[in-house]
Amino acid sequence: MRLPFGLDQLEDRAREHLSRGAQGYFSDAAYSDAAGLFTTARENEAAWQHWYLRPRVLVDVSEIRTETSILGTPTRMPILAAPCAYNAFAHPDAELAVARATAGVGAIHVVSTAASKPPEEIARAAAADRWFQLYSDIDAGKTDERLRMAEDVGFKAVVLTVDAPVGAPRYHGYPEQGFGPVATANVLDPGLEWGEVERIAKQTDLPLVLKGILHPADAILAVAHGVAGVVVSNHGGRQLDGAIPTAFALPPIVGAVDGQIEVYVDGGVRSARDVMRALALGARAVLIGRPYLWALAIAGEEGVRELFGRLCDELRNAMMLTGQVDVASIDRDIVVPRPGSSYASPER
């Protein structure tokens, strides 16, 4: 075992392996008060604990199925590696290590537009199904070039990030990369709107997923515009501080799309119990970001492989203890809100 016994200790252990700048970049959130107790980044983690698990008993759990399909792609677990920029700040093998690790455990890797390694090299690192995260560029020609590249190297889906028409102020970690008090990355498109979503969809045969949906009305529009799925996400608290935690945003969006498209969620997922909560609230799968960066910093490819393997094993255990036998059909009523929560009646 290369990682700490408690996965909640990952970040502290990773600090021993990261430079101050890298730690600042990966942990950073939006605005100058990001070190406070009530930022979105921190609230994301806390919000999952507002949902209690309510087990069923006397269920035959001798056979448990964590395998599922995501946009038709078979996967060993409903857990994806979220798109995270500059993995080389954590480990010199960067996204190559993540690609090999996720391929080895049967998880989908979503590769960032701002990856440290070229997408073609990442695709060659291991034979596996992976997705490509896309930012819409001010120059539509560059957007289309990225789409063609994603198709040419064999990515299976495109994940368009829609919650970043402009970067939010960040004050810690690698300001030389364009992050800091001004935080206006040149590639971001403040003119991104539904017409561009339609244009991008027409430029590729790959399924299109929108990442950064928090409002049910936008989820309904996503269905109307023919996308294949949405990721309920607030960018890990790195965009609008004060945005709704994803654990609370998820149920109304699941209700709004009503099974017409797949729904995924990221933000603050730190344990297999959080994965269970997300699945019970209607997510098809979850994405994790910072945890695998910390595992990458601690032990490279083997650290990432161990993290996903442990999450899958612990998910299997949590399923047995809640009387659930298939991740594709988790009972909705095994999660209940903490008494007094304003989300006492999840919208479906």
Please give the positions annotated as active site.
Answer: 235
Return d(Cα 217, Cα 333) in angstroms, integer. 25
- Provide φ and ψ at 53, rounded to 5°: -90, 130
272-290 in b/e form (b: 16+ CB < 10 A) is: bbbbbbbbbbbbbbbbbbb
The H-or-E segment that residue 151 falls in is helix 140-152
Token representation of residue 256 = 């709004």
What's the distance, CA 205 to chain centroid? 23
Q: Which of 162, 252, 175, 248 is nearest to 209 (CA)?
A: 162
Q: Hey, what are 113's tokens?
A: 């537009």
Q: Are 312 and 79 in contact (CB under 8 A)?
A: yes
Long-range contacts of 88-91 (CB under 8 A, 24+ apart): 88/116, 88/117, 89/18, 89/19, 89/21, 89/22, 89/25, 89/26, 89/116, 89/174, 90/14, 90/17, 90/18, 90/22, 90/26, 90/293, 90/294, 90/296, 90/297, 91/296, 91/297, 91/300
CB 85 within 8 A of CB 114: yes
SS3 222: helix
φ and ψ of 312, to 5 deg? -65, -45
Length of the chain: 348
- Cα separation, 309 vs 319, whole angstroms: 15
Give the integer Cα–Cα distance in Å for 337 and 327.
Answer: 21
